[in-house]
Amino acid sequence: MNNTTKKDIWIIGSLLFLSFVPSIAGVVRISQLTTGSGYTVENQRFFDDPVPILLHIVAVLVYSILGAFQFAPGFRKLYPKWHRVSGRVLVFFGLTTAISGIWLTMVYPRVPTDGDWLFGIRMVIGFWMVICICLGFYFVMQRKYLIHSHWMIRGYAIGLGAGTQVFTHLPWFLFVGGDPSGIPRDLMMGAGWLINFLFAEWIIRRKNK
């Protein structure tokens, strides 16, 4: 196995691993909403208005899993046509992920565990993701492929925020117990997106060297 193949496997595997827990949670949520099972007071908002959450889950599943293969250089070079076609599909599902995230943030009532900052954080993240994907698409149309890749990395990193949030919440679950609420929850949610943002910028700067 050559080094490029090993690198591709590591990149794809890492991104799929980061998508794993949110993907499982999303499939469970779809099952609950389509079968009417698992109804609680806490998730009542999803049953009352299931369209935004279902649209968001499906878009995130496609975007996170299909997108993992876009960033493996050997795979991309081996299948350039696949990269171009799937890239256009990912623009659609990435924008759907971001816009549906903004939608459900605005239409669903605030849950008791959310602090005062989380609404604003989610709105900023949603619009930032839209900007990243739109700029990525614009630059590929201009054949500025390096800049295109930078913006697509940024957009995908934000899209994987839920995966990183599993790890930012883990210390709380291990050492405190129960579900965090208020400012601690806001900070842990925000930290997931911030870590991905910083990692994306690090990757971009490495690519530029």
User: Does residue 1 have a pLDDT over 80?
Assistant: no
The predicted model gives 43-47 an average pLDDT of 89
Domain count across the chain: 1
Give residue 176's pLDDT: 92
* Model confidence band, residue 172 (pLDDT cutoffs 50, 70, 90): very high
* Model confidence band, residue 166 (pLDDT cutoffs 50, 70, 90): very high
Backbone angles phi, psi at 202, to 5 degrees: -65, -45
Rounded percentage of the chain residues whose pLDDT exceeds 90: 79
The predicted model gives 66-92 an average pLDDT of 92
* Model confidence band, residue 29 (pLDDT cutoffs 50, 70, 90): very high
Q: Find the length of the chain.
A: 209
The predicted model gives 11-40 an average pLDDT of 91
- Within 10 Å of residue 75's Cβ, how many Cβ atoms? 20
Burial of 19 (0-12, 13-18, 19+ CB in 10 A): buried
Give the chain's radius of gyration (CA, Å): 18
Q: Please provide the average confidence, as pLDDT, over all residues in the chain.
A: 92
pLDDT in tens, 136-148: 999 999 999 999 9
- CA dist 34 and 54 (Å) reads 10
The predicted model gives 39-49 an average pLDDT of 86
- CA dist 56 and 191 (Å) reads 21
- Domain encompassing residue 12: 3-208
Secondary structure of residue 114 in the 3-state scheme? strand
Q: Which of 4-18, 78-92, 140-154 is least confident?
A: 4-18
Tokens of 99: 């816009």
User: Does residue 209 have a pLDDT over 70?
Assistant: no
